[in-house]
Amino acid sequence: MPRARKKFVCRKKDRGVGLDVFLMGRIGSSRSQAQRLIKNNLVLLNAAPPKRARQVLRENDVVEVICEPTKGKYEHTNYEKFDIKIIEETDEYIVIDKPAGLLVHETGAGEKNTLADWLRDKYPEIQKVGESKLRPGIVHRLDKDASGVMVAAKTQKMFDQLKAQFKERAVEKKYLVLAHGVMEKDMGEINFAIDRGVSGRMSARPKIDRTKLKNVNREQPGKAAITEYLVKARFARFSLLEIKIHTGRTHQIRVHLLAFAHPVVGDNLYFNRKLNRKKDKELGRLFLHASTLCFADLSGTKVCYNSGLPRELNDFLEKLN
């Protein structure tokens, strides 16, 4: 069976970015995973092996990632250590409560112990649903360190309908998040554009007034992103927020709150080095939980599913009082 390949063409904004960092953004891997792929000759740059992992890219460079094909049944993994609760199951879809620490699907670096593995083992027929064997029935994702409600399609018809709803922003998603600092307003909206930075991480910054002469040459690239927040509780140095997102950008909530000077507690990727992060280490996970997910089923009826805060997050909040 021939090896599958993923091909990416470098754009203008990718000029000067290292190959390993570029791969982080394209396949969702860590930098070390990207470097391992390059070292194992599983990456080509303009149809040839790259000279080094950090080779600087140019516009229109072609990067190919070679993926080993799946042979036979997927390897059974030890995802049993995770408590994956089924919230609702129908003939068309399954709604689950994803625990923190569980990766939704492999990124191309061959990770095991994923939600996709669990779906394939529990529902063998789901392997034919969707657009990729790596993401059977999966139309959206949660960050590995986040927890909460997710839906996966069990039929292609439901997959297509869910995909269309996510694309049209017709799906309602709410999250409970603990942020550093005390929010001044009870509610608000963050609408900073989000783009991928040179480090491979996503980035956002407040909008500038383009009508002012001093901003003429200050280009602010990125995709539109809208995050609403409502303060549910205030503590001495933290704010518990209910967040509703109207777009689904990578790491949107985490990036927006960092840019808003209120990073998510427990976030080891998007944080302010000047902050006292003693409580982050105490918590030991990301305080980001998908609490509500609403979508239309095949009959067109709106259905909503909820997930309460995991015990470790509730216990953490009680200690703040």
The confidence score (pLDDT) of residue 185 equals 94
Residue 277 has phi, psi (to 5 degrees) of: -110, 25
Percentage helix, strand, coil, to 5, in the chain?
25, 30, 50
How far is CA 51 from each of CA 41, 56, 68, 151, rounded to the nearest angstrom?
Answer: 11, 10, 22, 42
**Where are the strands (E) in 61-209, listed by range?**
62-67, 85-89, 93-98, 147-153, 172-180, 187-190, 194-196, 202-204
Q: Which long-range contacts (CB under 8 A, 24 or more apart) does 282-285 make?
A: 282/316, 283/312, 283/316, 284/312, 285/100, 285/101, 285/145, 285/312
Question: Which helix (DSSP H) or strand (DSSP E) does residue 241 occupy?
Answer: strand 238-245
**Residue 58 to residue 49: CA distance in whole angstroms:** 16
**Residue 120 to residue 110: CA distance in whole angstroms:** 16
Q: How many CB atoms lie within 10 A of CB 158?
A: 23
Crossing angle of helices 31-39 and 19-27, rounded to 10°: 110
What's the one-letter identity of residue 235?
F
Taking the complete model, does pTM exceed 0.75, yes or no?
Answer: no
8 Å CB contact between 144 and 230: no
The confidence score (pLDDT) of residue 76 equals 40
**Residue 121 to residue 99: CA distance in whole angstroms:** 18
Pairing assessment for the beta strands 85-89 and 93-98 based on DSSP bridges: antiparallel
Set out the domains of the chain in order of their start, with CATH numbers. Answer: 4-67 (3.10.290.10), 87-169 (3.30.2350.10), 174-213+220-320 (3.30.2350.10)
Q: What is the DSSP string of 5-17?
A: EEEEE--GGGTT-
The confidence score (pLDDT) of residue 217 equals 39
**Residue 189 to residue 317: CA distance in whole angstroms:** 24
Q: Which structure tokens are listed for 15?
A: 């000029």
Q: Which structure tokens are listed for 320?
A: 């703040």
The confidence score (pLDDT) of residue 172 equals 95
Beta bridge partners of 202: 196
Helical ranges in 111-154 per DSSP H: 115-122
Please report, in angstroms and rounded to a whole number, the separation of the first and last CA atoms in the chain.
59
Which residues carry out catalysis?
Answer: 143
What are the pLDDT tens digits along the chain (321 aa)?
445 578 899 988 888 889 988 888 777 666 777 888 888 788 899 988 898 888 999 999 999 987 644 443 434 445 566 788 999 999 999 999 999 989 898 765 566 788 998 999 899 999 999 988 888 999 999 988 999 999 999 999 999 999 999 999 999 999 999 999 999 999 999 999 888 665 556 667 665 544 444 443 344 567 888 999 999 999 999 999 999 998 888 889 999 999 999 999 999 888 888 888 889 999 999 999 999 999 999 999 999 999 999 999 999 999 987
8 Å CB contact between 179 and 241: yes
